[in-house]
C-alpha cells in the first residue's frame, strides 16, 4: 500500500465534509521524524537515572540484600530495597475483582520479602547516569531462598504447589454467566443432554497461548517532585487511571499529582497498566526530592510488562442433526500470572458475552476460573477476552460444518442473526443494535473468489499435491466501546466507562479540543479534528487536539477497548453541539434577530429567509471581547461534555483466509486474505485501513508465530525477539479490505470502533484455513502457534489413524489427550 | 541495553590488529560487523576489557580474483558480497546463501569473516563455505599466516581454528564457474536464524549431475558437509525420483538441536526434504 497525496485527493467517493475523508495523519510528521517528546527524550535539570535489580527466580523469598558495594560505585546516589520504600511506594492494584471472594495477592512495586515471578523488582539503583546505574545494579548482592514454582496452568489448578503460599490456593476467582439463571435463554445442560440423544455434540479443548505485547516504544517514566506537586511523564495508555491509582495507594493527594502521557509509541493493551516501574520511580524521586528517570530495555519489557491471553478453553456445543445450534457451554481456565493486574481477572470475563457471537443459541453458559502461577502477570492485550471467544466459536462452527457435512459458510448462515432481526438480544443477554452479516459475507465471498478457491482445493486434493490449500472463515462480532458505567458497576469494576471532552473557542477563530482519551499511535488528533471541523464548520487545520496531560485534560478514562471514538469521539461531538447552542443567542444578538430565526449551518449562523450571517469564529471573537453580548450572558462559548454510553457497539465482519500447507515440511503460506468489516460510520478511511492491517497481522501472528514459552525453572525462554518470533512486513501478504456499513444506533455519528477488530477476527480464520487444508489427512486441530513442526506432526499423527472409528474413539477432555501439551507437539491432530 | 565499560582500539592494519590482540590477550574481543557481538555486550552476556574494531583495516575489505580462486576479505559485508559479480559468477552458492541472511540492515553491517569466526551453527555462511571447499587464511603474530581448509576450520559450537592472538583475514574460494546453486533455508519468520538450511551446488552434464557439493546448516554443532550424498548424486539424472533416493540418508549421523522451532527428529526430516529441493533447484530441474 502506498500512501501518497494523490490517494488523498483521488478518493473516488471523497465526501464534501471532513468525516469520511482519507486525510493523512497530522501527528505523523513529528512522530516519524522523532521531533517530539517520547518519555525517554525528556531531560530535566539534575535528573537521576534508575536501574532495576530483578529476581532471576520464579519463586523465592528474599533473605538478604547487600547493597554496600553498589552504593560505593561511581556515580551512585543510592540503592533502595522494598523495605526502604515500603511506606511510600504504594501498590499495583486490580480494578476488577470479579467476585466478592476473589483472592488477590498484594503486588508491591518493589518486592519486600517474596518474589512470585522471574523479573520482579527487588531493588532500585539510582545514579547520575543510566550507565552507572546499570553497572552498579550488577553489584547488588541478593540472597534468595528458592521456593518451588508453579508454572503450568493445569498444574496450578491442582493446588499442589502454590504461587503465593500465603493465599492457601492458586485459585483467584470463578465467574459464571448462565442463560437460564439470568433469564436470557434455556438450560445449557438440558440442551446438551438432548443433543446427545440424536443430535450433534461437539466437544473440544483449545489453547490460547501466552502472548507478549510488542509495542514499539519500551516503557519509560520520568518523575519530577517539585514542592508539593509531583509530575510524572510516562509511556502509558492510561494517565488518568494512573493518577487515580497513585493517589489511592501512596497517600499523595490526587490534586498534587500531574500525570502526562506525552507521545506514546504503541500499546496494544500492553500500556494499559499501572506498573511497578512507575511506582518505584515515583517512590525514589520522592525519597530523594530529585527528578528521576527509568527507561526499560526490551529484555525487561519481555519479563516485566504484562503478557496476554493464556487460557485453556473447554467447549461443548450442541446442535440439532441439521446443524441448528441449541447450546454452548464454555469452561475456561485463565492464567493470571503472578498477580491480578489492573483488568486482571476481568479479561476472561470480557469474553463472556462473545462466545455465542452472531449465532442464535437457545442456551448458554460461560464459566471461568482464574489461577495464579509464578509467571509474568497477564492482562489486556488487543481484543482482551474477545479474541479468545471468537477463536473458540469460529473454530467450533467449522467443526460443526464438518459434522453436518456442509460448507462452513452455510452452517454459519443457518445460525446467524438475520439482518431484519436487529435489534437482537442474544442468549448472553447483550442487545446487538445493528448489523448485516449477509451483506458482509456476500461481499467478502465475491472479493475472495470463494468458489474458485474451493475448486482449486478439490483439484489439489485429488492430485495429491504436496501443497494443499485450505479456506478459513471467521464471521466475527465483538463488543467494543468500553463501556456503559452501569454495566461496569454491575460487574464490580472499579471505575466508570464515560468519556469527557472540552472545546475552547479561541479569540482568533481557532479551536482547542481537549479529550480524555489518550492516543498512543491511533491518530486521534486527526480524526477528532475532522469531527470538530465538520460540526463547527471550521477549517480542519484550525483545530488542535490536546490530550494526555491530567492538568490539561483533567477528566478522562483513557484509551483501550476500542473506546476512544465511540465514547470519546461522541463526547467531543456533544461538546461541539453545546458550543453551538451557547453561541446561538450571541449570534442572534449580533444579527439583531430572534434566536428562533437563527440557524447554524457550515460554520455560519444565518437568519432564516435572509442572507445575513455571522460565522462561529466571529461569534468567538465577539464573545472574547465581551463588548456586545446579550444582557446577562456569560462571555464564554466554551463547552464541556461527558458521555456515558447506553450500550456497547458491535462491529462485525466476514474474514476469509486461504492458506497453503506444504505437507512435506508443515510450512504454511498465506495465499489470500479478504476482510469485509462493518464498523459503522468511518471518520477516516486511511486510519481505518491502518488499524485493520495492523490488527490483522497481530491476529495472524497469534495463529502462526507468537507464543511465550517458559522453561521448567520459570525462565522466559522467549525473552528476546530472537526467540519470540514477531513477524515483519516480509512475512505478510497484501490484504484485501473492504466495508459494509450498518451505523451504530448508540452514538450520533454511528461509529462502532475498529482498533481491535482485525486482531479478534483473523486468528480463527487462519487456523481454520490450515486445518481445512489437512483435514482430509486426519487433522482436526493444531495448537497455536501453528508452527511447521506442529503442522507436520499433526499430519503424521492423522495419517497414523487408520479408521474414522478409531479417531472418534479418542477421548477429548482426558488428561492425556494429544492437544494437552503444546510443548510435546506429539499428535495434536487426532484428538476428536 | 547498556554494555559494561570497555576500552576501544581501532587498528588500521592487520599487523597492528594482531599486535593489539597480543597485548590484550583474553581481555580482548574482536569486533567485525558487530551483529552478534554488540547484542552480547548490550545484554551483558560478555564484558571484555577491550574491543578491537577491524572496521578501519582496508586490506580486509573487498572481493578479488586470484587465478582459479576468489579472495574475499574477512571484513567484506554481506551486502558487498551480494553486489559482487565475481561471486555470482564463480561462487553462486555463496551469493544465494547470503541473500537469505536476516534483513537488509544486517546485511549491510554484518561481515562474512565475522560470521565464520562467530561460528553459530545456524548461520548461513558456514555450509556454503564448506560445500565450496573454501580455505581460510589466518594471520598470527610476527606477520605469519596459515591456511586452513573449511573442513578443519569449524571445531565446535562457536569454536573455530582461529587461535588466541590470531585473526581470520581472507576467505579463498575455488571458482565453481558454471555450477548451478541453491540455498534452501527453512525459517518461520523471514529474519530468523536458519531452523535448517541446505546449501547445494551442482555441475551438470547432459542432463545428469556430474558433480555435487552439499552443506548443511544447523544440523549439528558445526556446519556439515554431506559427502555421502554428494557421491550418491554423481551420475544421477536431475529428477525428483533419482535425487530423492540419492539424498535419503542425508540426515544420518547428524546431531541437530531441539528447540522451540523443532525437535531433532523433525530437523532430520526437514534436512531430507530440503536437500532434495536444494539439489533439484541447483540442477535447474
pLDDT (tens digit, 9 = 90+) per residue, A615-667? Answer: 999 999 999 999 999 999 999 999 999 999 999 999 999 999 999 999 999 99
- The CATH number of A498-643 is 3.30.365.10
Q: Residue A227: pLDDT band by 50, 70, 90 thresholds?
A: confident
Q: Which three cell numbers stand for residue A481?
A: 466501546
What is the distance between the alpha carbons of residues B17 and B84, in angstroms, rounded to a whole number? 27
Cβ within 8 Å of residue B78, ≥6 positions away: B98, B101, B106, B107, B108, B110, B111, B112
Q: Residue A39: pLDDT band by 50, 70, 90 thresholds?
A: very high
**DSSP notation for A755-805:** TTHHHHHHHHHHHHHHHHHHGGGT----PSS--HHHHHHHHHHHHH---HH
What is the distance between the alpha carbons of residues A809 and A830, in angstroms, rounded to a whole number? 10
Mean pLDDT, residues A752-773 = 97
Nearest residue, CB atoms, A788 vs list B44, B188, B263: B188
Q: What is the pLDDT of residues B175-186, one digit of tens each?
A: 999 999 999 999
Q: Say whether residue B240 is in contact with chain A using an 8 A CB cutoff.
A: no
Q: Which three cell numbers stand for residue B231?
A: 557421491
Q: What is the pLDDT of residues B42-83, one digit of tens each?
A: 999 999 999 999 999 999 999 999 999 999 999 999 999 999
Q: Residue A682: pLDDT band by 50, 70, 90 thresholds?
A: very high
pLDDT at A3 over 70: no
Q: Which three cell numbers stand for residue A98?
A: 470479579
User: Which residues of chain B are within 8 Å of residue A299 when distances are taken between CB atoms?
Assistant: 1, 43
Mean pLDDT, residues A339-356 = 97
Q: Say whether residue B45 is in contact with chain A using an 8 A CB cutoff.
A: no
pLDDT at B161 over 60: yes
Q: What is the pLDDT of residues B248-260, one digit of tens each?
A: 999 999 999 999 9
Q: What share of chain A is helix, strand, coil (3-state, %, to 5)?
A: 35, 25, 45
pLDDT at A831 over 60: no
What is the distance between the alpha carbons of residues B40 and B47, in angstroms, rounded to a whole number? 9
What is the SS3 assignment for A114? strand
Name the DSSP letter for residue B251. Answer: T
pLDDT at B129 over 90: yes
Annotation: CATH topology of B180-282: Enolase-like; domain 1 (3.30.390)
CA nearest neighbour of A430 among A378, A369, A389, A474: A389
Query: CB distance A134–B2 less than 8 Å?
Result: yes
What is the distance between the alpha carbons of residues A626 and A677, in angstroms, rounded to a whole number? 49
Q: How many CA atoms lie within 13 A of A578 on its CB side?
A: 19
- pLDDT of A352 reads 97
Q: Say whether residue A793 is in contact with chain B using an 8 A CB cutoff.
A: yes
Q: How far is CA A708 from the centre of its chain?
A: 18
Mean pLDDT, residues A491-514 = 96
Question: How do B159-160 and B69-73 pair as beta strands?
Answer: unpaired
What is the distance between the alpha carbons of residues B139 and B83, in angstroms, rounded to a whole number? 27
Count of other CB atoms within 10 angstroms of residue A804: 10
Burial of A615 (0-12, 13-18, 19+ CB in 10 A): middle
User: Which residues of chain B are within 8 Å of residue A709 when distances are taken between CB atoms?
Assistant: 260
Question: How do A499-505 and A511-515 pair as beta strands?
Answer: antiparallel
User: Which residues of chain A are within 8 Å of residue B273 when distances are taken between CB atoms?
Assistant: 664-665
Torsion region of B277: left, alpha or beta (phi above 0 gives left; psi -120 to 50 gives alpha): alpha
Mean pLDDT, residues B212-233 = 98
> Which of B36, B189, B258, B276 should one mutate to test binding to chain A, selecting the residue with the greatest count of A CBs within 10 A?
B189
Q: Return the sign of the alpha-carbon dihedral for residues A432, A434, A437, A438.
A: positive
User: Which residues of chain B are within 8 Å of residue A298 when distances are taken between CB atoms?
Assistant: 1
CA nearest neighbour of A723 among A377, A302, A382: A302
Count of other CB atoms within 10 angstroms of residue B43: 15
- pLDDT of A16 reads 78
* Architecture, CATH, for domain B58-174: 2-Layer Sandwich (3.30)
What is the distance between the alpha carbons of residues B111 and B30, in angstroms, rounded to a whole number? 13
3-state SS record for A528-596? HHHHHHHHHCCCHHHEEEECCECCCCCCCCCCCCCCHHHHHHHHHHHHHHHHHHHHHHHHHHHHCCCHH
Question: How do B63-66 and A60-66 pair as beta strands?
Answer: unpaired
3-state SS record for B84-113? CHHHHHHCHHHHHHHCCCCCHHHHHHCEHH
**DSSP notation for A126-182:** EESSHHHHHHHHTT-EEEEEE------HHHHHTTSS-SSGGGS-SEEEEEEEEHHHH
Q: Residue A801: pLDDT band by 50, 70, 90 thresholds?
A: low
CA nearest neighbour of B111 among B163, B169, B158, B28: B169
Nearest residue, CB atoms, A665 vs list B2, B5, B186: B186
Q: Which residues pair with A805 in a beta bridge?
A: none
Q: Say whether residue A164 is in contact with chain B using an 8 A CB cutoff.
A: no
- pLDDT of A214 reads 96
In angstroms, the separation between the Cα of residue B264 and the nearest Cα of chain A is 11
Torsion region of B262: left, alpha or beta (phi above 0 gives left; psi -120 to 50 gives alpha): left
Q: Residue A13: pLDDT band by 50, 70, 90 thresholds?
A: low
Length of chain B: 285
Question: How do A60-66 and A511-515 pair as beta strands?
Answer: unpaired
The model carries a pTM of 0.95
Q: Say whether residue A731 is in contact with chain B using an 8 A CB cutoff.
A: yes
Count of other CB atoms within 10 angstroms of residue A608: 11
Q: CATH classification of B7-53, choosing from 3.30.310.220, 2.60.40.10, 1.10.10.10, 3.30.43.10? A: 3.30.43.10
CA angle A821, A824, A828 (to 5 degrees): 70
In contact, B8 and B53? CB cutoff 8 Å: yes
User: Which residues of chain A are within 8 Å of residue B270 when distances are taken between CB atoms?
Assistant: 665
Query: CB distance A138–B44 less than 8 Å?
Result: yes
Helices A757-774 and A386-404 sit at what angle, rounded to 10 degrees? 30
Query: CB distance A731–B2 less than 8 Å?
Result: no
User: Which residues of chain A are within 8 Å of residue B188 when distances are taken between CB atoms?
Assistant: 704-705, 725, 787-788
pLDDT at A257 over 80: yes
Q: How many CA atoms lie within 13 A of A649 on its CB side?
A: 32
CA nearest neighbour of A403 among A711, A783, A801, A780: A780
Q: Residue A828: pLDDT band by 50, 70, 90 thresholds?
A: very low
CA nearest neighbour of A242 among A568, A483, A557: A557
Nearest residue, CB atoms, A709 vs list B2, B260, B273: B260
Query: CB distance B103–A728 less than 8 Å?
Result: yes
Mean pLDDT, residues A294-313 = 97
Note the ipTM here: 0.97
Mean pLDDT, residues A492-513 = 96
What is the SS3 assignment for A183? coil
**DSSP notation for A446-509:** HHHTHHHHHHHHHHHHHTT-SEEEEEEEEEEE--BS---HHHHHHTT-SS---EEEEEEE-TTS
What is the distance between the alpha carbons of residues B90 and B71, in angstroms, rounded to a whole number? 11
User: Which residues of chain B are within 8 Å of residue A134 when distances are taken between CB atoms?
Assistant: 2
In contact, A270 and A253? CB cutoff 8 Å: no
Q: What is the pLDDT of residues A205-215, one digit of tens each?
A: 999 999 999 99
User: Which residues of chain B are within 8 Å of residue A707 when distances are taken between CB atoms?
Assistant: 260
Q: What is the pLDDT of residues A573-620, one digit of tens each?
A: 999 999 999 999 999 999 999 999 999 999 999 999 999 999 999 999
The mean pLDDT of chain B is 97
What is the distance between the alpha carbons of residues B243 and B250, in angstroms, rounded to a whole number? 11
Mean pLDDT, residues A677-702 = 97
Domain definitions of chain B by residue range: 7-53, 58-174, 180-282
Q: What is the pLDDT of residues A357-404, one digit of tens each?
A: 999 999 999 999 999 999 999 999 999 999 999 999 999 999 999 999
Mean pLDDT, residues A411-421 = 98
> What are the start-end ranges of the H helices in A653-746?
685-704
User: Which residues of chain B are within 8 Å of residue A788 when distances are taken between CB atoms?
Assistant: 186, 188, 195, 262
- Where do we find the cell 547520575? A128
> Which of A294, A664, A703, A766 should one mutate to test binding to chain B, selecting the residue with the greatest count of B CBs within 10 A?
A664
Q: Say whether residue A23 is in contact with chain B using an 8 A CB cutoff.
A: no
Count of other CB atoms within 10 angstroms of residue A255: 10
Nearest residue, CB atoms, B266 vs list A138, A731, A789: A789
What is the distance between the alpha carbons of residues A529 and A524, in angstroms, rounded to a whole number? 8
Domain definitions of chain A by residue range: 46-150+230-239+260-288, 498-643
pLDDT at A9 over 60: no
Q: Say whether residue B44 is in contact with chain A using an 8 A CB cutoff.
A: yes
In contact, A637 and A582? CB cutoff 8 Å: yes
Question: How do A76-81 and A48-54 pair as beta strands?
Answer: unpaired
- Tell me what percent of the residues of chain A surpass a pLDDT of 90: 93
In angstroms, the separation between the Cα of residue B216 and the nearest Cα of chain A is 17
Mean pLDDT, residues A170-199 = 97
What is the distance between the alpha carbons of residues A185 and A12, in angstroms, rounded to a whole number? 46
Count of other CB atoms within 10 angstroms of residue A209: 17
* Architecture, CATH, for domain A46-150+230-239+260-288: Alpha-Beta Complex (3.90)
The mean pLDDT of chain A is 94
- pLDDT of B207 reads 85
In contact, A310 and A373? CB cutoff 8 Å: no
What is the distance between the alpha carbons of residues A319 and A191, in angstroms, rounded to a whole number? 8
User: Which residues of chain B are within 8 Å of residue A720 when distances are taken between CB atoms?
Assistant: 43
Q: Say whether residue B272 is in contact with chain A using an 8 A CB cutoff.
A: no
Mean pLDDT, residues B96-101 = 98
Residue A545: is the preceding peptide bond cis (ω within 30°)?
Answer: no
What is the SS3 assignment for A722? coil
pLDDT at A496 over 70: yes
In chain A, which among 428-447 make CB contacts under 8 A with chain B? none
Amino acid at each position: 500500500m502506498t500512501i501518497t497525496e494523490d490517494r488523498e485527493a483521488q478518493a473516488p467517493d471523497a465526501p464534501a465534509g471532513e468525516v469520511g475523508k482519507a486525510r493523512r495523519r497530522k501527528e505523523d510528521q513529528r512522530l516519524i521524524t522523532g521531533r517530539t517528546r517520547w518519555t525517554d527524550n525528556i531531560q530535566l535539570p539534575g535528573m537521576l537515572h534508575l536501574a532495576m535489580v530483578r529476581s532471576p527466580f520464579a519463586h523465592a523469598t528474599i533473605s538478604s540484600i547487600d547493597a554496600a558495594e553498589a552504593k560505593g560505585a561511581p556515580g551512585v546516589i543510592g540503592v533502595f530495597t522494598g523495605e526502604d520504600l515500603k511506606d511510600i511506594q504504594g501498590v499495583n492494584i486490580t480494578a476488577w475483582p470479579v467476585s466478592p471472594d476473589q483472592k488477590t495477592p498484594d503486588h508491591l512495586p518493589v518486592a519486600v520479602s517474596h518474589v512470585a515471578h522471574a523479573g520482579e523488582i527487588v531493588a532500585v539503583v539510582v545514579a547520575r547516569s543510566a550507565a552507572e546505574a546499570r553497572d552498579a545494579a550488577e553489584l547488588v548482592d541478593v540472597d534468595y531462598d528458592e521456593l518451588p514454582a508453579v508454572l503450568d496452568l493445569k498444574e496450578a489448578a491442582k493446588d499442589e504447589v502454590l504461587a503465593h503460599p500465603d493465599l492457601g490456593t492458586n485459585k483467584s476467582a470463578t465467574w459464571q454467566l448462565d442463560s437460564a439463571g439470568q433469564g436470557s435463554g434455556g438450560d445449557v445442560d438440558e440442551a446438551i443432554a438432548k443433543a446427545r440423544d440424536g443430535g450433534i455434540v461437539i466437544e473440544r479443548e483449545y489453547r490460547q497461548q501466552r502472548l507478549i505485547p510488542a509495542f514499539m516504544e519500551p516503557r519509560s517514566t520520568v518523575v519530577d517532585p517539585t514542592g508539593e506537586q509531583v509530575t510524572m511523564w510516562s509511556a502509558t495508555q492510561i494517565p488518568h487511571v494512573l493518577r487515580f491509582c497513585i493517589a489511592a495507594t501512596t497517600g499523595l493527594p490526587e490534586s498534587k499529582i500531574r500525570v502526562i502521557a506525552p507521545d506514546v509509541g504503541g500499546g496494544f493493551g500492553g500500556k494499559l497498566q499501572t506498573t511497578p516501574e512507575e511506582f518505584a520511580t515515583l517512590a525514589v524521586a520522592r525519597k530523594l526530592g530529585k527528578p528521576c528517570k527509568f527507561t526499560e530495555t526490551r529484555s525487561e519489557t519481555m519479563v516485566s510488562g504484562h503478557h496476554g491471553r493464556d487460557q485453556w478453553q473447554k467447549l461443548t456445543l450442541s446442535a440439532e442433526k441439521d446443524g441448528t445450534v441449541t447450546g454452548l457451554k464454555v469452561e475456561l481456565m485463565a492464567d493470571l500470572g503472578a498477580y491480578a493486574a489492573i483488568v486482571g481477572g476481568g479479561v476472561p470475563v470480557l469474553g463472556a458475552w462473545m462466545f455465542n457471537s452472531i449465532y442464535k443459541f437457545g442456551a448458554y453458559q460461560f464459566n471461568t476460573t482464574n489461577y495464579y502461577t509464578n509467571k509474568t502477570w497477564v492482562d489486556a492485550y488487543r481484543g482482551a477476552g474477545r479474541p479468545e471467544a471468537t477463536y473458540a466459536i469460529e473454530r467450533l462452527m467449522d467443526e460443526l460444518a464438518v459434522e453436518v457435512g456442509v460448507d462452513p459458510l452455510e452452517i454459519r448462515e443457518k445460525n446467524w442473526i438475520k439482518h431484519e432481526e436487529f435489534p437482537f438480544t442474544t442468549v448472553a443477554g447483550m442487545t446487538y443494535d445493528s448489523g448485516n452479516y449477509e451483506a458482509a459475507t456476500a461481499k467478502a465471498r465475491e472479493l475472495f473468489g470463494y468458489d474458485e478457491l474451493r475448486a482449486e482445493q478439490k483439484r489439489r486434493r485429488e492430485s495429491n499435491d504436496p501443497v494443499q490449500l485450505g479456506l478459513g472463515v471467521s464471521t466475527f462480532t465483538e463488543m467494543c466501546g468500553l463501556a456503559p458505567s452501569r454495566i461496569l458497576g454491575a460487574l464490580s469494576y472499579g471505575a466508570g466507562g464515560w468519556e469527557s471532552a472540552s472545546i475552547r473557542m479561541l479569540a482568533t477563530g481557532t479551536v482547542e479540543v481537549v479529550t480524555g482519551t489518550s492516543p498512543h499511535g491511533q491518530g486521534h488528533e486527526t480524526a477528532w479534528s475532522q469531527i470538530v471541523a465538520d460540526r463547527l464548520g471550521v477549517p480542519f487545520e484550525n483545530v488542535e487536539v490536546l490530550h494526555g496531560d491530567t492538568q490539561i485534560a483533567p477528566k478522562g478514562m483513557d484509551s483501550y477497548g476500542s473506546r476512544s471514538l465511540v465514547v470519546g469521539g461522541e463526547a467531543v461531538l456533544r461538546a461541539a453541539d453545546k458550543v453551538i447552542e451557547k453561541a446561538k443567542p450571541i449570534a442572534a444578538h449580533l444579527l439583531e434577530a430572534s434566536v428562533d430565526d437563527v440557524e447554524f449551518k457550515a460554520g455560519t449562523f444565518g437568519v432564516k429567509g435572509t442572507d445575513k450571517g455571522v460565522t462561529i469564529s466571529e461569534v468567538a471573537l465577539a464573545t472574547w471581547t465581551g463588548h456586545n453580548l446579550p444582557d446577562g450572558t456569560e462571555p464564554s462559548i466554551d463547552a464541556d461534555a461527558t458521555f456515558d454510553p447506553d450500550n456497547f457497539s458491535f462491529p462485525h465482519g466476514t474474514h476469509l483466509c486461504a492458506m497453503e500447507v506444504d505437507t512435506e515440511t508443515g510450512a504454511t503460506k498465506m495465499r489470500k486474505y479478504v476482510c469485509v468489516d462493518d464498523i459503522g460510520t468511518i471518520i477516516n478511511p486511511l486510519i481505518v485501513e491502518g488499524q485493520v492491517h495492523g490488527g490483522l497481522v497481530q491476529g495472524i501472528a497469534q495463529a502462526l508465530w507468537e507464543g511465550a514459552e517458559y522453561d521448567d525453572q520459570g525462565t522466559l525462554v522467549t525473552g528476546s525477539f530472537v526467540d519470540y518470533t514477531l513477524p515483519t512486513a516480509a512475512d505478510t501478504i497484501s490484504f484485501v479490505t473492504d466495508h459494509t456499513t450498518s451505523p451504530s444506533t448508540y452514538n450520533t455519528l454511528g461509529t462502532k470502533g475498529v482498533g481491535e477488530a482485525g486482531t479478534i477476527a483473523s486468528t480463527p480464520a487462519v487456523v481454520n484455513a490450515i486445518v481445512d487444508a489437512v483435514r482430509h489427512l486426519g487433522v482436526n486441530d493444531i495448537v497455536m502457534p501453528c508452527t511447521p513442526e506442529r503442522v507436520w506432526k499433526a499430519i503424521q499423527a492423522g495419517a497414523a489413524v487408520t479408521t474414522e472409528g478409531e479417531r472418534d474413539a479418542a477421548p477429548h477432555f482426558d488428561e492425556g489427550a494429544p492437544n494437552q501439551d503444546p510443548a510435546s507437539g506429539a499428535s495434536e491432530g487426532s484428538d476428536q | 541495553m547498556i554494555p559494561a565499560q570497555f576500552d576501544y582500539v581501532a587498528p588500521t592494519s592487520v599487523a597492528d590488529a594482531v599486535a593489539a590482540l597480543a597485548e590484550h590477550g583474553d581481555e580482548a574481543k574482536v569486533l567485525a560487523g558487530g551483529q552478534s557481538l554488540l547484542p552480547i555486550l548490550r545484554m551483558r552476556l560478555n564484558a571484555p576489557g577491550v574491543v578491537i574494531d577491524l572496521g578501519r583495516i582496508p586490506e580486509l575489505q573487498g572481493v578479488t580474483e586470484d587465478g582459479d580462486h576468489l579472495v574475499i576479505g574477512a571484513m567484506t559485508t554481506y551486502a558487498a558480497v551480494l553486489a559482487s559479480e565475481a561471486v555470482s559468477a564463480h561462487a553462486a552458492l555463496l551469493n544465494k546463501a547470503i541473500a537469505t541472511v536476516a534483513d537488509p540492515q544486517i546485511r549491510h553491517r554484518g561481515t562474512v569473516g565475522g560470521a565464520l569466526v562467530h561460528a553459530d551453527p545456524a548461520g548461513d555462511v558456514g555450509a556454503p563455505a564448506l560445500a565450496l571447499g573454501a580455505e581460510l587464511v589466518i594471520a598470527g603474530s610476527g606477520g605469519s599466516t596459515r591456511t586452513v581448509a573449511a573442513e578443519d576450520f569449524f571445531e565446535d559450537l562457536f569454536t573455530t581454528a582461529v587461535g588466541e592472538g590470531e585473526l581470520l583475514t581472507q576467505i579463498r574460494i575455488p571458482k565453481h564457474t558454471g555450477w548451478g546453486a541453491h540455498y534452501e533455508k527453512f525459517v518461520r519468520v523471514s529474519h530468523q536464524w536458519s531452523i535448517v538450511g541446505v546449501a547445494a551446488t551442482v555441475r551438470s552434464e547432459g542432463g545428469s549431475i556430474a558433480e555435487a557439493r552439499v552443506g548443511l546448516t544447523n544440523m549439528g554443532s558445526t556446519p556439515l558437509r554431506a559427502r555421502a550424498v554428494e557421491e550418491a548424486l554423481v551420475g544421477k539424472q536431475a529428477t525428483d525420483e533419482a535425487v530423492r533416493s540419492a539424498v535419503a540418508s542425508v540426515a544420518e549421523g547428524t546431531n541437530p538441536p531441539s528447540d522451540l522451532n523443532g525437535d531433532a527428529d523433525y530437523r532430520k526430516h526437514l534436512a531430507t526434504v530440503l536437500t532434495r529441493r536444494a539439489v533439484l533447484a541447483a540442477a535447474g530441474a
